[in-house]
Amino acid sequence: MQASFSFTRLGLLIRKQWADHSKLYLLAVVAIFGLMAIAFYLWSLSENHDPASTYVILIVAMFLGGSIFASMMFADLSQRTTGIYFLSVPATHAEKLVCSILYSQVLFNLVILISFFILQPITLSLVKLNPHMHFHSDMARSEFSMLAKHITLGYLSLQAFFLLGSVYFQRFAFIKTVVGGLLIGVVFVLFIAYLIKPIFPSHVEMHGIFELRTDEGQDSSFSYSLPAWQTYLMRYAVQYIWVPVFWAATYFRLKEKEL
Amino acid sequence: MIDIQNLHFGYKKEKVFTGLSLQLQPGHIYGLLGKNGTGKSTLLRNIAGLLFPDMGSVRVLNFNPEKRQPAFLKEVFLVPEEFYVPPVRPSKFMDIYAPFYPRFDRNRFLKYLTEFELPMDRSMQQMSYGQKKKVLISFALASNASVVLMDEPTNGLDIMSKSQFRKVLAGTIDDSKCIVISTHQVKDLENLIDRITVIDQGRILFDQTLDKILSRLSFKISFDNEEIKDAIYSESSLRGNAIVTANRSAEESKLDLELLYKAIIVNRSGVLSAFPS
Query: What confidence tier does B239 reach under pLDDT thresholds 50, 70, 90?
Result: confident
Q: What is the pTM of this model?
A: 0.87
Task: Tell me the mean pLDDT in the region A219-230.
Answer: 79
Question: Crossing angle for the helix pair A242-255 and A228-240, nearest 10 degrees?
Answer: 50
CB A16 to CB B96 under 8 A?
yes
Q: C-alpha B233: how far from its chain's center? A: 24
Residue B78: name the closest of B181, B157, B164 by CA.
B181
Residue B265: how many other CB atoms lie within 10 Å: 17
Q: Write out the E strands in chain A.
A: 48-49, 134-135, 204-207, 211-217, 220-225
Q: Which residues of B touch A87 (CB under 8 A)?
A: 49-50, 68
Cα dihedral: B65, B67, B71, B75 (round 10): 20
pLDDT at A150: 86
Over the stretch A106-146, which tens digit does the pLDDT of each residue have?
999 999 999 999 999 999 888 888 777 776 666 666 677 77
Query: What confidence tier does A256 reach under pLDDT thresholds 50, 70, 90?
Result: very high
Contact B162/B189 with Cβ under 8 angstroms? no
Q: Is B125 touching A (CB cutoff 8 A)? A: no
CB A6 to CB B96 under 8 A?
no
- Helix/strand/coil for B23: strand
pLDDT at A218: 63
Q: How far is A189 from chain B (nearest CA, A)?
A: 35
d(Cα B118, Cα B125) in Å, to the nearest integer?
Answer: 13
pLDDT at A233: 87
Helix runs in A45-140, H state only: 54-60, 66-72, 80-87, 93-101, 108-128
- Helix/strand/coil for B140: helix
Q: Is B228 touching A (CB cutoff 8 A)? A: no
pLDDT at A140: 64
pLDDT at B68: 95
- Concatenating the DSSP letter of every residue in A137-150 gives --S-HHHHHHHHHH
Task: Tell me the mean pLDDT in the region A4-33.
Answer: 93
Question: Crossing angle for the helix pair B106-115 and B129-142, nearest 10 degrees?
Answer: 150
Q: C-alpha B130: how far from its chain's center? A: 18
Q: Is B80 touching A (CB cutoff 8 A)? A: yes
Over the stretch B66-110, which tens digit does the pLDDT of each residue have?
999 999 999 999 999 999 999 999 999 999 999 999 999 999 999
Q: Which residues of A touch B50 (CB under 8 A)?
A: 84, 87-88, 258-259
Q: How far is A24 from chain B (nearest CA, A)?
A: 11
d(Cα B241, Cα B231) in Å, to the nearest integer?
Answer: 10
Please report, rounded to a whole number, the percentage of residues in chain A having pLDDT higher than 70. 94
**Nearest residue in B to A256, CA atom:** B66
Which of A80, A82, A99, A256 is the mutation pick for testing B, counting most B CBs within 10 A? Answer: A80
Average pLDDT for chain B = 89
CB A9 to CB B80 under 8 A?
no
Residue B40: name the closest of B220, B184, B243, B182 by CA.
B182
Does the pLDDT at position A224 exceed 70?
yes
Residue B124: name the closest of B74, B68, B158, B84 by CA.
B84
d(Cα A113, Cα A58) in Å, to the nearest integer?
Answer: 8
Over the stretch A154-181, which tens digit does the pLDDT of each residue have?
999 999 999 999 999 988 889 999 999 9
d(Cα A50, Cα A140) in Å, to the nearest integer?
Answer: 12
Residue B151: name the closest of B173, B179, B190 by CA.
B179
Task: Tell me the mean pLDDT in the region B115-131.
Answer: 90
Residues 6+ apart with CB under 8 A from A252: none
Least-confidence region, from A20-24, A46-50, B125-129, B247-251: A46-50
Does the pLDDT at position A2 exceed 80?
no
Residue A188: how many other CB atoms lie within 10 Å: 10
Q: Which value does ipTM take for this structure? A: 0.86
> Which pairing describes strands A134-135 and A48-49: parallel, antiparallel, or unpaired?
parallel
Q: Which residues of B touch A3 (CB under 8 A)?
A: 69-71
Residue B255: name the closest of B228, B207, B217, B204 by CA.
B217
Which residues, listed in sequence order, are joined to residue B24 by a DSSP beta bridge? Answer: B2
Q: How far is A182 from chain B (nearest CA, A)?
A: 29
d(Cα A57, Cα A43) in Å, to the nearest integer?
Answer: 9
Q: How far is A30 from chain B (nearest CA, A)?
A: 20
d(Cα B134, Cα B93) in Å, to the nearest integer?
Answer: 13
pLDDT at A139: 63
Burial zone of A199 (CB within 10 Å; 0-12 exposed, 13-18 middle, 19+ buried)? exposed
Task: Tell me the mean pLDDT in the region B102-120.
Answer: 92
d(Cα A257, Cα A80) in Å, to the nearest integer?
Answer: 11
d(Cα B125, Cα B274) in Å, to the nearest integer?
Answer: 49
Question: Crossing angle for the helix pair B90-97 and A7-44, nearest 10 degrees?
Answer: 110
CB A88 to CB B48 under 8 A?
yes
CB B51 to CB A85 under 8 A?
no
Q: How far is A20 from chain B (nearest CA, A)?
A: 5
Over the stretch B245-270, which tens digit does the pLDDT of each residue have?
888 888 888 888 888 888 998 888 88
Q: Is B122 touching A (CB cutoff 8 A)? A: no
Over the stretch B152-173, which tens digit does the pLDDT of each residue have?
998 888 888 888 888 888 888 8
- Phi, psi angles (nearest 5°) of residue B197: -125, 125
Over the stretch B2-56, which tens digit does the pLDDT of each residue have?
999 999 999 887 888 888 898 999 988 999 988 887 889 999 999 999 999 999 9
pLDDT at A106: 95
d(Cα A138, Cα B222) in Å, to the nearest integer?
Answer: 100
d(Cα A83, Cα A117) in Å, to the nearest integer?
Answer: 37
